[in-house]
Amino acid sequence: MRQNTATPMPRGRPRSFDVDAAVERAMDVFWSRGYHATALPDLLRATRLSRGSLYAAFGDKHSLFLRALDRYIADALARMDGEFDPRNDPVEGLQAYLAGYVERTSGSNGRRGCLLVATAMELAGGDADVGRRVAGFFKAMEAKVTDALSRAKAAGRLADGVEPATAARVLVCFVEGLRVVGKTAPARTTSQAAVDALIGRFLR
| pLDDT given at position 14 | 46
**Residue 179 clears pLDDT 80, i.e. is over it:** yes
| pLDDT given at position 41 | 97
| pLDDT given at position 15 | 57
If you count them, how many residues does the chain have? 204
**Residue 2 clears pLDDT 50, i.e. is over it:** no
Say how many CA atoms lie within 13 Å of 90 toward its Cβ: 19
Confidence grade of residue 17 (pLDDT, cut at 50, 70, 90): confident
pLDDT average, residue stretch 114-128: 96
Is 0.95 surpassed by the pTM of this model?
A: no
**Residue 8 clears pLDDT 90, i.e. is over it:** no
Confidence grade of residue 12 (pLDDT, cut at 50, 70, 90): very low
